[in-house]
Structure 1
């Protein structure tokens, strides 16, 4: 792959990663309500989920998903339900992450990792994004090395961005303000996730 094509791929992946959406909401909530380490762990597993979709797309699964629209629609609805469930959970446990830290009770690293992974895995539209991207930038005669380069680029860009988000929230006046208002931060992020989930479900069932 030539350098111009690779830089184009990086630019598109960066724009996709930094665009506001459910992934950003989840990483911010985990980082603020628990810790920067939880946020970093969530970012890494989110990158693995994105990398999973990129890998399957490179193997041609997205073409099959596009052909079998019913399967794609079912996965999309399930993804919307998961986003809404995350939002409900954020409302139900609003502020409790801060209380657990104040009491010296370690928050669940597994839960942070799970939320980061699942918010990416439960979004099959990512596969179509990569299908459109790869079909425009990548030659049809890809070898294993090019596929590895593509996967590594996608994983590093996505993980790097969300790790940066988690670390930027690790200190300073922004984090202090957010933690003073953690209940409303949780509820705000929860509302965003619920609305996004409902939008996905309604948009899929009633196009």
Structure 2
């Protein structure tokens, strides 16, 4: 508990980065929304749980992978932070670009034949696990919370916390955005949301690149 309290600011920042990263609908979120609208909430929720489970798997692989690297090469933390900070700046650029664009979100059902809820869960998991951007995002998120000498329990705390948030938010998307009305409401505030996300990612990226620990 003392270790977690000591590294709590980094853990909280990692939570915030993850929360804001999924606040803006990407391809996976749009697939969840589209499935809920076209097929039904049960299928949308199943797809959402599959995506969340895939995200949890990536988080575990990232934590244990980075922990093993840091245990063998202490100097690797600097390289990881440079990579993570650079990726966050890239996300900031993408968010600002989206905020400046007039292009609206497009929620579409997944291509192919329709399945039972279990089938959508499997598709959600496979989609997330075969997404290379998910690995890059998790390296950035975990590197925010990992400081020099941080124990494995810090990484586990990040994984567990983000997994709970992932389930809650993905399911919320499936429930709330199962009607066209909610999609229109989000569209009206999309640019403001993207601007806020861009600002946070830029600040987090700069903080990570200038951090000494």
TM range (shorter): 0.5 to 0.7
Q: Distance in 2 between matches of 1:81 and 1:173?
A: 29
Q: Distance in 2 between matches of 1:175 and 1:27?
A: 19
Matches within 5 A, 1:164-203: 164-172=168-176, 178-203=182-207
Residue of structure 2 aligned with 1:87, choices 88, 95, 111: 95
Residue of structure 2 aligned with 1:67, choices 70, 75, 90: 75
Does the C-alpha gap of structure 1 residues 55 and 199 become closer, same or farther in structure 2, counting only changes over 3 Å? same
| TM-score of the pair, normalised by structure 2 | 0.56
- What's the offset of the Cα at 1:191? 1.8
SS in 2 for 1:96: coil
SS in 2 for 1:56: helix
Q: Distance in 2 between matches of 1:133 and 1:175?
A: 44
| TM-score of the pair, normalised by structure 1 | 0.58
Does the C-alpha gap of structure 1 residues 201 and 65 become closer, same or farther in structure 2, counting only changes over 3 Å? farther
Alpha-carbon deviations, 1:36-75, whole Å to 9, x = none?
Answer: 456444433332232123212542x235665356423421
Residue of structure 2 aligned with 1:51, choices 56, 60, 77: 60
Does the C-alpha gap of structure 1 residues 72 and 28 become closer, same or farther in structure 2, counting only changes over 3 Å? closer
Matches within 5 A, 1:85-164: 85-88=93-96, 90-91=98-99, 92=101, 94-98=103-107, 101=108, 106=111, 110=127, 114=131, 115-126=133-144, 128=146, 132-134=150-152, 158-164=162-168
* Unpaired runs of at least 5, structure 2: 33-43, 112-122
CA RMSD of aligned residues (A): 4.6
* Unpaired runs of at least 5, structure 1: 137-149
Name the count of aligned residue pairs.
179
Runs of 4+ in 1 over 6 A off after TM superposition: 173-176
